[in-house]
Amino acid sequence: MTQRLQAPVVVLLVAVAAIATLVVVRAFPPASKRPLRTLEAGRMADFEARFDAARDSTRLLLLLSPT
């Protein structure tokens, strides 16, 4: 009786662990792959320099809300 119960429980635990892993991975991609620079008044010159540095390309300025 106990052994018959164990198999479904193990399957359930594995499924829960897999779902939890998927949720965590999707919610928190590796930070190093998504660098986020802070833009402040004192750093505008750096931002402008980045804009100019790419002047061989078409540039797109995007302003967005995070939510």
- Give the Å distances, CA to CA, from 31 to 16, 26, 36, 63: 25, 12, 9, 21
Nearer to another protein, 9 or 61 (CB): 61
Question: How far is residue 19's CA from residue 16's CA, in Å, rounded to a whole number?
Answer: 5
CB of 13 to another protein, least distance (A): 26
Nearer to another protein, 12 or 50 (CB): 50
CB of 25 to another protein, least distance (A): 10
CB of 10 to another protein, least distance (A): 31
Nearer to another protein, 9 or 41 (CB): 41
Question: How far is residue 37's CA from residue 22's CA, in Å, rounded to a whole number?
Answer: 27
